[in-house]
Amino acid sequence: MVNTVVVSEFAGDPPLAEGACREIAGGPLYPAAKVLALLAGSGARAVRAWTEKCGTDLQKCSLDTEDLCELMATAVRSGRFCGAEWCVQRPNGPWAACDAYSVVRREWIAHAHREFDVEYYLKFAIAKTGQLLLVASCHLPEDRR
């Protein structure tokens, strides 16, 4: 059974057909001021790795929730908006309408003994409650899928 529950503040009908386009025209769906207010007001308590893949990617990149908050704030302030799209938490739902961003952060790379610019791709939504940021994706460019 396919779950058509939408858990994001942005509502609509997710694309249920296999291979259907998930892009949402326009955007960003969530105003930067609202995202920043959630991060400033509740910090890490307002952020959830919403998909299993996101949690795995955060571990792979050695990022904690504080890092994720910093990346999200940088994304909406100065990152590159890449579009909006429907994301599904697991094969049969639920769904969230997410904004996608590319953001670059300067990081110390221990094995190279120097700093490098590291690019991340983020996809997130504000939950229906208006109190949570659901992160569907946070990964390096080579992990896009």
Q: What is the mean pLDDT of the chain?
A: 91
Question: What is the predicted pLDDT for the residue at 99?
Answer: 97
What does the alpha-carbon distance between residue 6 and residue 28 come to, in Å, rounded to a whole number?
A: 18
pLDDT digits 0-9 by tens, 1-32: 566 899 999 988 898 787 889 999 988 999 99
Query: How sure is the predictor about 79, in pLDDT bands with cuts at 50, 70 and 90?
Result: very high
CB 63 within 8 A of CB 44: no
Total-model pTM: 0.90
